[in-house]
Amino acid sequence: MIESLLEEQKPVVEIEDVCVTFGQQPVLRDIRIKIVPGQTLVLLGESGCGKTVLMKTVIGLIKPNRGRVLFDDQDINTLSEKAMSRLRLRFGFVFQNAALFDSMTIGQNVAFPLRQHGNHNPHRIRELVLARLAEVGLPDHVVYKKPAELSGGMRKRVGLARALIMNPELILYDEPTTGLDPIMSDVINELIIRTRRRNPVTSIVVTHDMNTARKVADRVIMLYPMSRLQEDEPQIIFDGSPDELEKCRDRRVRQFVNGEAGERLMEMRAAATPI
C-alpha cells in the first residue's frame, strides 16, 4: 500500500542513503525514505535509535556525513544560509517541551515567527495569533499570560499554534505527548489530526507513544539502534501502515509495540555481569 502511494505521488521529502555519525558513534545508516504531500509519517523506536537526529537532518539542523535530503526537489545541504532560512519558512516545528520564551507573553510567543520575518502590522498579527490559538482550543485571554502560568498541555498547544502561524507545508512534532496525562495526550493527538484536515500539510511525528502512532499515522517507520544491529542489517525494521504494524511478526517490532522488556532486561544483566 505504501509503495503504490509513493509511485502515484511525487514526494515532497526524499531522504537518500543518509548516514550520520557523531565522532566514532554511528547514529543513522543508509536511511532511505520518501514522504508524499499530505502524509502523516510517525517515526517510532526506542530511545537512542536516531529518531530526533533524523528529524533534524530533514530540516537541515544536522548535516549528514553521507547521502542527501531533498525538499521539493532541492538538496537542502547545497543551499546557502540565506536560501536555507527562506526554505525553513515552509517548515513548522513543535518542540518536545514547547520551547516557549519564558520572558514573553503567549501572544508574543505565537507572533514571534511573524515578527522575525518582517510582518509588523499589529492588527493583522493579533488576528492571526487569535485565530491560531482558537484552532488549538485556547481562549483569547491567554495571549496576556506567561508560559509559566499555563499547564504542560496548554504550553504544547501554544507550541503548535506558533508552528502553524506561518502556514507551513511541513510540520515536525518532536515527542508531542511526552509528559502529558492520557487525556491531554489524546487532545494533542486530536489536534494533530485536525491540523492535517484543516491545512494542506505534511507531518513527521517522532514518538515512542504507541497510542499516538495508532491514532495519527498514515504511515509508520520504526528505527532500531545502530549499536544493536549486525553490520549488514537495515536500520529501518518496519515501514507500513498502523494496521500492518499490528500484524508485523518481527520480534523486535513486537517487543516495542507490546512494551515487552524481558529480553532487554536479560541483555542489560549480561552487559553488567563482570567477566
Any idea what DSSP says for residue 208?
-
Q: Give pLDDT, residue 47.
A: 87
Cβ-Cβ contacts under 8 Å for 28 (sequence gap 6 or more):
18, 19, 20, 50, 53, 54, 57, 64, 226, 235
HSE-CB at 65 with a 13 A cutoff on CA atoms is: 13
Taking a C-beta distance cutoff of 8 angstroms, is the pair 183, 156 a contact? no
DSSP string of 216-243, one letter each residue: H-SEEEEE--GGGS-TTS-SEEEEE-HH
Instruction: State the pairing for strand pair 91-94/170-174.
Output: parallel
pTM higher than 0.85 for the full model? Answer: yes
Q: Give pLDDT, residue 129.
A: 94
Count Cβ atoms below 10 Å from residue 199 Cβ, excluding itself: 16
Residue type, 40: T
Reading the chain (275 residues) residue by residue, the pLDDT tens digits are 555 555 567 899 999 999 999 998 999 999 999 999 999 999 999 888 999 999 999 999 999 999 999 999 999 999 998 898 889 889 999 887 778 899 999 999 999 988 887 666 888 999 999 999 999 999 999 999 999 999 988 999 999 999 999 889 999 999 998 888 999 899 999 999 998 888 889 999 999 899 999 999 999 999 999 988 988 899 999 999 999 999 999 999 999 998 876 565 555 555 555 55
Cβ neighbourhood burial of 246 (10 Å; 0-12, 13-18, 19+): middle
The distance of Cα 245 from the centroid of its chain, to the nearest Å, equals: 19
Any idea what DSSP says for residue 103?
T
Instruction: State the pairing for strand pair 202-206/40-44.
Output: parallel
